[in-house]
Amino acid sequence: MTKTVPILAAAAFAAIGVQPAIALDEVSFGTNWLAQAEHGGYYQAVADGTYEKFGLKVTIRQGGPQAANRSLLVAGQIEFYMGGNMLESFDAVKQRIPTVTVAAIFQKDPQILMAHPDQGIETFADLAKLPTIFLGKDLFISGFQWMKSAYPGFKDEQYKPYTFNPAPFIADPQSAQQGYLTSEPFEVERQAGWKPKIFLLADEGFDTYSTTIEAQQKLVDENPDLVQRFVDATAIGWYTYLYGDNKAANDLIKTDNPEMTDEQIAFSIAKMKEYGIVESGAALEKGIGCMTDEQHKSFFDKMVASKVVEAGVDVSKAYTLKFVCKGVGLDVKKALGG
């Protein structure tokens, strides 16, 4: 899928004083949901030409309910994929699927639980007092199992399916509901007129990386330069999106997802900054996308203790640190006043 000018041909052009147009490496990046501010750095790098400066022509393939972008990565139909969290990468190792996480754009998973503001729920542990917690299936079999292991009082009887409609939560003051930090609180406030209490699972110990960049192991082994350029350009795109002029990127987001609004985008960006979703931990000093062995081990050990992941999985095969933590883009942030 990649295209470059052959070296000998380029040298021949140079010898006669002609500078050929260098073809860009064409790559596709599949997201895991509809276009939104949480994907902003990628769209920024497309919109402002950052990917092109790194010799890349990037096509963003929008995810969504019917998309199969992870399958396309496994099949070699796309070069890069946006992983949800590290549980997917752990499972890939278990299933012997040859994919690997090469960067983690979100240092914190934006998964939250929300509660009504007037029910005496002041701490995360207080949520165990509520008779009802609305959860999607994926979070129930992962995050909720960790909650039961780490915090006394949570029990399966609290679980009710979350259908991605906040109305049942809004109507029941003795309930909590899962959500995405950058999305559901905005919608609840819009519909109900009050701000929900927000508890970010990452700040309570659910310390998986999120919104990762995954690639096939074969690409990492055979074309590490391509992977490095994509990771570096993406990091710069994120700094520019968060601290610079992001109008063109937001226009692309709204083109791909016409239901997205400027108000929702502004809310999402503000929450990402407020809670350190993109920039916290090692990323503060070593750059967006940074990962550490220590954080991977911490999350893996918690998932084993919660019986979400089998102890025998070789977690070191789920990721590589060779492309991150090099400080790429920190100068851009400084120049933008971030």
In tens, the pLDDT along 99-123 reads 999 999 999 999 999 999 999 999 9
Is residue 13 pLDDT above 90, yes or no? no
Distances (CA, A) of 152 to 173, 290, 308: 22, 33, 18
pLDDT at 64: 87
Mean pLDDT of 81-105: 96
Place 42 in a pLDDT band, splitting at 50, 70 and 90.
Answer: very high
Q: What band does 3 get if pLDDT is binned at 50, 70 and 90?
A: very low
Torsion from C-alpha of 337, 111, 254, 102, nearest 10 degrees: 70
- What is the pLDDT averaged over residues 259-288? 98
* Extents of the domains making up the chain: 7-107+208-335, 111-204
Phi-psi region of 193 (alpha: psi -120 to 50; beta: other; left: phi over 0): left
Q: How far is CA 320 from CA 86, 207, 292, 316, 332, in A?
A: 12, 18, 9, 8, 25
C-alpha closest to that of 213 among 189, 230, 190: 230
Q: Across residues 248-263, what is the average pLDDT?
A: 98
Q: Give the pLDDT band (50/70/90) at residue 2.
A: very low
What span, in angstroms and rounded, lies between the C-alpha atoms of 222 and 199?
Answer: 42
Token pair belonging to 80: 């890069």
In angstroms, the CA 213 to CA 82 distance is 5
- Give the per-residue pLDDT at 255: 98
- Within this chain, domains 7-107+208-335 and 111-204 share the same CATH topology: yes
pLDDT tops 90 at residue 21: no
**Confidence at 8, pLDDT banded by 50, 70, 90:** very low
Does the 7-107+208-335 domain belong in CATH 3.20.20.150? no
CA distance 84 to 105: 11
Phi, psi of 321 (to 5 degrees): -100, 5
Give, as one character, the DSSP assignment of residue 231.
Answer: H
Under the banding of pLDDT at 50, 70 and 90, the label for residue 14 is very low
How far apart are alpha carbons 204 and 266 in whole angstroms?
Answer: 25
Assigned CATH for 111-204: 3.40.190
